[in-house]
Amino acid sequence: MFLSDEAIKTDRRRLVVERMEGADEEAAALLKAKRDAEIALARLVTDVEKKGHFRLGGCASVAEWLVFHGAGDLEAMTLRGLGQTLAGLPEAEDRIRRGIVEVEKAAVIGPVVARHDLAREGDNWLESAAEDPIGRLRRKVKKRLEQTAQRSRTLVGLTVYVKP
């Protein structure tokens, strides 16, 4: 919603609005640059993880390596997940750049799309990332990971005798 240059009266209070020329364009350009940087960093993180470079700095994981270089914990995990998504679904990059899929949601689906053994017929994780709220998306990913983990374990029969 755009406001006029005039003051607006709301709830008997007077709001003064001042137009900032170029602010909309600057915000759009900065957000595009941020998204470009996140995609470039995510690709770097994928390469660093694949080659094990993070271990040279004494880090146990690529996320720890990113934190060592100044990223926050959440940012590091987001970049790792985004890298997994870009590696598993190359078509995701275009949707992220166009703003159809948020970076955070693309990062959430990373652990599932990076592993082909987790794929099921009818899966469309990019659609889910574009449409579902992030909480629901996290639950879907967690459920898929858990289903796969349960299926891969060998069950062992156990007989227990209990005394009264």
- Give me the residue spans of the domains in the chain: 23-144
Strand partners, 8: 15
pLDDT at residue 116 in the model? 86
pLDDT at residue 5 in the model? 53
User: CA torsion, points 93, 95, 101, 104, in degrees to nearest 10?
Assistant: 10
> pLDDT tens digit string along 33-81?
999 999 999 999 999 999 999 999 999 999 999 999 999 999 999 999 9
Check whether 154 has a pLDDT greater than 60: no
- pLDDT-based confidence at residue 1 (cuts at 50, 70, 90): low
> pLDDT tens digit string along 71-127?
999 999 999 999 999 999 999 999 999 999 999 999 999 999 998 888 888 899 999
Return the percentage of the chain with pLDDT > 70, whole number.
88
Q: In angstroms, what CA-CA distances link 103 with 46, 75, 86, 94, 109?
A: 15, 11, 11, 12, 10
